[in-house]
Amino acid sequence: MLDLKLLKELCCAKGISGDENAVRDLIIKNISDYVDEVNVDSMGNVIAFKKGANKPKLKLMLSAHMDEVGFIVTHITDDGLIKFTEVGGVDKQVIYGKGVTVGKNEIEGVVCVKPLHLLSSNERENVPSIEDMFIDIGAKTKNQALEIINLGDPIYFDSIFEEKNGVIKSKALDDRIGCYVLIDIIKSDIPYDMYFTFVVQEEVGLRGAKTASYTVAPDAAIVVEATTASDIPGVDEEKKVCEINKGAVVTFMDKRTIYDRELYNIACKSAENVGAKWQTKTMVVGGNDAGVIQSSRSGVKTIAISLPCRYLHAPVSLATCYDLEAVLNTVKETSKNIAGGLF
């Protein structure tokens, strides 16, 4: 049974890269009673250790990132409008005309839209560039805006969280589902000692995982992620990458990493052991923290197990409970087999 209340709390917590406090606090609150040690490093990564029933053959680290994509306030115009830039890769076609909140106090704002009636045909057909966008919080002047927001404040899309008929629609599934899976495993009885890292700043260059893996110095690592499913109209069959309702995604290669062949085979076999459906990515695209974990110190055997997820870098992404359970079961079994050296 999935703990949808916890998943909702994780997804609704706000944390763009470099501003993960709310997510970190929530995670620590949920794991403290179940781990033997938990520390926060100077970058803000949460590093937890939990003893298992047995001593492991391999020192294993499970990792998920806490941060999400969003925006940051860069400038206020004399008319009180906000200029902003992306934090992480937001698909620029999804920004225009969306509702947002700005800063810690969640000041309401909207991304302005030049009315359709006044557009040239060229403007009508092309995605506007972010340089031409403004966020309006209703301020009349720069000073009025600066009374309630600051340059550098984070900006988030308005979003929903819904689970209905097994379909989950929410912001930040990338990578709060990874955090969810790790928490779920931490709360269970584990067969071997393991390290769990909840890392910062994945979306701006895999930065947290670099220091966390240095600290833990594992022999092997499992990255638990959300990955793009493009099984939607308008995408050619061979570019779907992976599909929802087809199970956990075990990746052999992406733009950052060629995954360890042995661990890849263990992950696939582990999925089959527990009757979880699995698939692999059919295109070499994307990248995640595995890229820096694999090259940490003298090298770490690394694998990624991901949830297929549509619209990753949009206000609301979509995934299914069926796939999430497959990821959870696959990661559990894989972690047992790697830590126990059962291969």
Tell me which H or E stretch contains 305. strand 301-309
- Per the rule left: phi > 0, alpha: psi between -120 and 50, beta: everything else, 341 is left
Strands (E), 15-118: 37-40, 46-50, 60-65, 70-76, 82-87, 99-102, 107-111
Q: Does 117 bind another protein (CB under 8 A)?
A: yes
- Per the rule left: phi > 0, alpha: psi between -120 and 50, beta: everything else, 29 is alpha
* Rounded Cα gap, residues 314 and 188, in angstroms: 33
Nearest to 226 by CA among 182, 268, 258, 178: 178
Q: Does 219 bind another protein (CB under 8 A)?
A: no
Dihedrals φ, ψ of 329, to 5°?
-65, -40
Q: Does 146 bind another protein (CB under 8 A)?
A: no
For the record, the structure tokens of 24 come out as 């970190």
> How far from chain centre, in Å, is Cα 99?
21
Instruction: List binders of another protein among 48-107 (CB under 8 A).
Output: 81, 91-94, 96-99
Size of the site for another protein (CB under 8 A): 62
Q: Does 342 bind another protein (CB under 8 A)?
A: no
Question: Given candidates 114, 217, 261, 272, which one binds another protein under the rule CB under 8 A?
Answer: 114
Residues tagged active-site: 202
Question: Given candidates 48, 318, 338, 339, which one binds another protein under the rule CB under 8 A?
Answer: 318
Question: Given candidates 78, 234, 237, 275, which one binds another protein under the rule CB under 8 A?
Answer: 234
Q: How far is the CB of 238 from another protein (least distance, A)?
A: 10
> 10 Å Cβ neighbour count for 85?
13
Q: Does 151 bind another protein (CB under 8 A)?
A: no
Question: Given candidates 72, 137, 200, 223, which one binds another protein under the rule CB under 8 A?
Answer: 137
Stretch that binds another protein, among 212-220, 297-305, 315-323, 331-339 (CB under 8 A): 315-323
Q: Does 272 bind another protein (CB under 8 A)?
A: no
For the record, the structure tokens of 247 come out as 């199970």
> How far from chain centre, in Å, is Cα 176?
5
Q: How far is the CB of 112 from another protein (least distance, A)?
A: 6
* Rounded Cα gap, residues 312 and 2, in angstroms: 21
For the record, the structure tokens of 81 come out as 């409008």
Q: Does 308 bind another protein (CB under 8 A)?
A: no
> Based on CB atoms, which residue is closest to another protein, 234 or 275?
234
> Based on CB atoms, which residue is closest to another protein, 39 or 144?
144
> Based on CB atoms, which residue is closest to another protein, 36 or 131?
131
Residues making contact with another protein (CB under 8 A): 81, 91-94, 96-99, 108-118, 124-128, 132, 134, 136-140, 144, 148, 158-160, 162, 164-165, 167, 169, 228, 230, 232-235, 239, 241, 244, 285, 310-318, 320
